[in-house]
Structure 1
Amino acid sequence: MKLADCVAEVEQQLQRAKLYFGHGTDNARDEAAWLVMAASGIDVGTFDGDWTQELSVQQLAETEKLVLERTRSRQPLAYILNSAWFAETEFYIDERAIVPRSHIGEWIPECFEPWLDPSGVQNVLDLCTGGGCIAVALALVLNRARFDAVDISTDALAVAAINARRHAVSDRIRLIQSDLFTALPGRRYDLILCNPPYVTDQLIDELPLEYSHEPEIAFSGGVDGLTIIRQVLAESRAHLTQRGLLVVEAGSAALAVENAWARVPFTWLMSANGESVVFVLSADELDTYGQSFV
């Protein structure tokens, strides 16, 4: 069977199983291609586009096994493969940390220009780092900057340590167990990034089964989804340099952010899929509107 035919067949199987796609892919076709290539030992990152290649009996057997595991367990494929792609980079992942899929990754290659001058970035903070993918991906671009990657979960930080070592940036990324800024007294950064928990209590109960394999702490944003975002907005200015920038993904709580702080001129960045769920605020803007967050 040709690769293209196998992908088409697996796509139909995934659709019939009524799976949810949102942990590295957003549709059955893309997930089928990823699954078949992984099962067949085809490197997704270097794939030459030869969809007509014939798959061996062994490759087809491995594909069938992987399809069964995905459909029966409802685990995200990223966990089954211990692999996830983020900001054009492959990362290790397991159930100790959320599967990386932050919209923030779209602006990492350009280092958040024009809102930030990359040449002036020396110190970066990645709050709620999870598996460390945002910090590591940005460290690969800002190769002179130093990073603090913070998470309340020691399990997640263990995954982040694996990724920092794999990408040879351990010497520039300090992993810190902390409840947000608690363990960072007096430290200031040119850039603070945060992909916090922002799912409301009600929405958590309605999430697809795939989400049940991820740490619930990575989602829980409280009654309105703003519990952590409020704290980040209230405390981040004290940890930014004078020309610093705050970047936060608000996700499903984006409208709640706008409603809660209607006077604040958030700059919302539009993702490739048309969503605007990541906002930026400069240190100057936080100076001006800081009382709104207290």
Structure 2
Amino acid sequence: MSNSLIEPPEVGKLRIVLLGAGRVAQHLATALHQAGHTVLQVWSRTLSSAEAVARQLPETAAITDSTALAAADLYIVAVPDAAVPAVVGAAHFPAGALVVHTAGALPLSVFEQWPSVRGGVLYPVQTFSPGRTIEWQTVPLCVEAADIAGEATLLGLANTLSADVRLVTTPQRLRLHIAAVFACNFTNHLLGISHALLTHDALPVDLLAPLVRETIDKALVEPPFQVQTGPAARHDQTTLARHEAALAAYPEWQILYKMLSDSIQRQASNEAQNNEGAF
């Protein structure tokens, strides 16, 4: 991944066909329109899904037949990773069309089995949920393309959506996606456990709000391993034992608690050994 932001070339307003009608597609469709691009069509296997996205935009057609795609400057495939090969394989793209996916873990090489199209990636590092407003100017957009012209088009497009645009290779993007799962999906799951524990004892969930905000704010400005706190970090075995006993009614969470506590202690031990070796 580049250590600095990319200054993409200027790009004209593009004509775009969007294949997909899920959460990413819904948010992306609106962002593309607001940036001045034209979304000609929204494709989905179900007409109601395509119409739900298309009606957000003026003069955008909802279609279910991917063999009847309009001529466009760019085709964006915003579907689950596992569905990308099937969707691309069934669609009829003009020869030489620039076709991109939006996945974090899917390699650029997925397009190699269709030599008549030019492959690319436009991966937004963000979580998307219905009803949430996304500040696209702050969303990192990771770009990769099979050819220089495609790269220039994607960099130009990304620049109209975000102030944070980077060239990222397939291996880098995979590691980035794993890091994003830890930072977002796993963190959200742990917050869900916290929510459930508080709710069980009729405690307000906003009790944790200042703690969560400070934890995230601190982790964004300091190396997180170096500012780890809590009973595991201070090797408070008495408190750890009490916590594990109190989680007996939730055996899966009890196991997870112990695994994470052990991981914190091993990481702290590794950090200590590394620091000793530096002298």
TM over 0.5: no
Q: TM-score range by the shorter chain?
A: 0.3 to 0.5
TM-score normalised by structure 2 residue count = 0.34
TM-score normalised by structure 1 residue count = 0.33
Greater helix share, 1 or 2?
2
